[in-house]
């Protein structure tokens, strides 16, 4: 039996510096996308002071991200980081399609009680917008891992909530 597992990150854990805060065994395996899901923002995160990312089943949509390979010793730290025990996110299994055509079955986290209606990210209400730091962390991770330019341009259309206060995160992710 394998001592590692694959995890598909599409939010703040796109950034190596972020995932390594709680999951030091994470090694970037590949980039890829999941079909028939869209990126959305729904639930307020106290840590990030704005809405955090989720995936919502949506035909003819894709979400790009990073496949990390982690040692099973980080399974509980990743679950804890994602708030599984508090019913913030639940675990799913998805097939990630990579650029070379490989399919990687990976663990992914989806928020509980996702919105059913589609609202374009540019039209999200202020309470469903991510904070500047959270959005910047996603964008830095997308650049760091060379996600497709058109997907990065899409991420840039997502408005933030304008929050300018303190964040409840143990490492400044603003630094380059």
d(CA 174, CA 32) in angstroms, rounded, equals 25
Of 57, 69, 82, 153, the active-site residue reads 82
Q: Are 64 and 32 in contact (CB under 8 A)?
A: yes
Measured at the CA of 18, the angle between CA 30 and CA 34, to 5 degrees, comes to 35
Contacts of 58 (CB under 8 A, 6+ apart): 36, 37, 38, 118
Residue 21: strand pairing partners: none
- Complete DSSP assignment for 62-97: EEEEEEEEEEGGGHHHHHHHTTGGGTSEEEEEEEEE
Active site residue 82: yes
Active site residues: 82
């Amino acid at each position: 039996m394998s001592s590692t597992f694959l995890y598909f990150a599409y939010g703040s854990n796109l950034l190596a510096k972020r995932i390594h805060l709680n999951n030091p065994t994470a090694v970037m395996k590949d980039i890829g996308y999941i079909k028939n899901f869209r990126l959305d923002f729904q639930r307020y995160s106290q840590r990030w002071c704005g809405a955090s990312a989720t995936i919502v089943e949506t035909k003819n949509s894709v979400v790009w991200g990073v496949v990390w390979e982690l040692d099973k010793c980080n399974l509980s730290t990743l679950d804890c980081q994602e708030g599984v025990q508090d019913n913030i996110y639940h675990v799913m299994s998805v097939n990630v399609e990579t650029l070379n055509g490989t399919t990687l079955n990976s663990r992914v986290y989806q928020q509980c009680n996702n919105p059913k209606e589609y609202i374009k990210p540019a039209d999200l209400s202020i309470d469903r917008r991510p904070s500047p730091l959270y959005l910047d962390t996603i964008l830095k991770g997308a650049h760091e891992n060379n996600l497709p330019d058109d997907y990065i341009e899409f991420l840039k259309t997502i408005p933030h909530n304008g929050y300018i206060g303190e964040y409840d995160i143990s490492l400044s992710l603003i630094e380059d």
